[in-house]
Amino acid sequence: MPIITLVFGSCCGGEEVGRKVVEALGYRIITDQTLIVDTSKRFQLDENKLFRAMVGKTSIFNKFTHERERSLARLKVVLAEALKQDNVMVSGMAGHLVPRDISHVLRVCIIAEMPYRINLASQWDGLSEKDALKKIRKDDESHVLWVDYLFGGSDPWAAEFYDIVIPMDKSSAEAAASLICENVGIDVLKATEASKRAVDDFLLAAEVNLKLAKEGHDILVSSKDGHITATINKQVLMLSSLENELKKIIHAVPGVKGVETKVGPGYYKTDIYRKFDFEVPLPSKVLLVDDEREFVQTLSDRLQMRDVGSAVVYDGEQALSAIEEEEPEVMVLDLKMPGIDGVEVLRRVKTEHPNVEVIVLTGHGSAEVEKLCMDLGACAYLEKPVDVETLAATMKEAYRKAKGKSSS
Instruction: State the SS3 of the chain.
Output: CCEEEEEECCCCCHHHHHHHHHHHHCCEEEEHHHHHHHHHHHHCCCHHHHHHHHCCCCCCCHHHHCHHHHHHHHHHHHHHHHHCCCCEEEECHHHHHCCCCCCCEEEEEEECCHHHHHHHHHHHHCCCHHHHHHHHHHHHHHHHHHHHHHHCCCCCCCHHHCCEEEEHHHCCHHHHHHHHHHHHCCHHHCCCHHHHHHHHHHHHHHHHHHHHHHCCCCCEEEEECCEEEEEECCECCCHHHHHHHHHHHHHCCCCCCEEEEEECHHHHCCCECCCCCCCCCCCCCEEEECCCHHHHHHHHHHHHHCCCCEEEECCHHHHHHHHHHCCCCEEEECCCCCCCCHHHHHHHHHHHCCCCEEEEEECCCCHHHHHHHHHHCCCEEEECCCCHHHHHHHHHHHHHHHHHHHHC
Whether the per-residue pLDDT at 392 is higher than 70: the answer is yes
pLDDT band at residue 1 under the 50/70/90 scheme: confident
Task: Identify whether 355 is part of a domain.
Answer: yes
Q: What is the mean pLDDT of residues 113-117?
A: 95
User: Is this prediction's pTM over 0.85?
Assistant: no
Task: Identify whether 57 is part of a domain.
Answer: yes
185 and 300 inside one domain = no
Whether the per-residue pLDDT at 271 is higher than 80: the answer is no
Across 206-210, 304-308, 387-391, least confident range: 304-308
Whether the per-residue pLDDT at 403 is higher than 90: the answer is no
Task: Identify whether 215 is part of a domain.
Answer: no
Domain end call among 135, 168, 189: 189
pLDDT band at residue 272 under the 50/70/90 scheme: low
- On average, the pLDDT of the chain sits at 91
Task: Identify whether 204 is part of a domain.
Answer: no
Higher pLDDT, 137 or 65: 137
* Residue-range definition of the domain harbouring residue 168: 3-189
Q: What is the mean pLDDT of residues 247-251?
A: 96
CATH of the domain at 296: 3.40.50.2300
Domain end call among 156, 189, 222: 189
Task: Identify whether 108 is part of a domain.
Answer: yes
Whether the per-residue pLDDT at 317 is higher than 90: the answer is yes
How many domains does the chain fold into? 2
Domain end call among 189, 216, 247: 189
CATH of the domain at 168: 3.40.50.300
Higher pLDDT, 272 or 390: 390
Task: Identify whether 69 is part of a domain.
Answer: yes
183 and 290 inside one domain = no
Task: Identify whether 144 is part of a domain.
Answer: yes
